[in-house]
Amino acid sequence: MAGHRGMALGVAAMVAAAASVGAAATLIVRTGPSLTQTVGENVFSRGIGPDSRPVPRSGGIVGLAAGKCSTCHGADGRGQHSGLLRGPNITYSNLTDSRGMLLSNGRRGPAYTDQTIRRAVTTGRVPGGGRLSLTMPRWRLSDQEWAGLLDFLQTLD
């Protein structure tokens, strides 16, 4: 009888330990960035895709943005100022503000959706059909790179 009780306690201890490890593993997954966000952070901060190659672009002034979003928009997405160029605040809450994106001059621009953010990044077109400045490169993003970039932008608030 004592042997069965000891075995039962041993099994209970293993189950508790496994549950504890499972909970810890779950906690780690929940607190760290997702794989998609990591892809997006690499696109934004380093200008590289999941294959570790530079993200290609078309349009814009070649060489101006040094191949990454953070050059003009800052590491936090709130905009960089360099010389005459001023990168706008592209935090997700600013881009998608229903009153319109707050511009550095205090005016409001268009309000973006996920779809129109992608169109602006890849074609230079803004909501309403206008064009972004040629200082903004037009990035050729794969679906995976775009999904990652959008996920990452959503963390910049």
pLDDT value for 37: 83
pLDDT value for 3: 52
With tokens 């892809």, the residue in question is: 39
pLDDT value for 65: 54
Are the CB atoms for 43 and 18 separated by under 8 Å? Answer: no
Q: Measure the CA–CA gap between 57 and 7, rounded to whole angstroms.
A: 64
Are the CB atoms for 106 and 124 separated by under 8 Å? Answer: no
Burial 102-119 (b: 16+ CB within 10 A, else e): beeeeeebeebeeebbbe
Two structure tokens written together for 20: 């504890």
User: How sure is the predictor about 101, in pLDDT bands with cuts at 50, 70 and 90?
Assistant: very high
pLDDT value for 28: 40
Alpha helices in 32-155 (DSSP H): 35-46, 70-73, 92-95, 114-123, 143-153
Q: Measure the CA–CA gap between 112 and 11, rounded to whole angstroms.
A: 56
pLDDT at 154 over 50: yes
pLDDT at 4 over 60: no
pLDDT digits (tens, 9 = 90+) for 5-64: 444 444 444 444 444 444 444 444 445 677 778 999 999 999 999 999 999 988 766 555
In this predicted model, which residue has the larger pLDDT, 148 or 64? 148
What does pLDDT average to over the chain? 81
| Residue among 71, 42, 64 nearest 55 (CA) | 42
Contacts of 47 (CB under 8 A, 6+ apart): 54, 55, 66, 67, 68, 69
Contacts of 93 (CB under 8 A, 6+ apart): 157
What's the predicted TM-score (pTM) here? Answer: 0.74
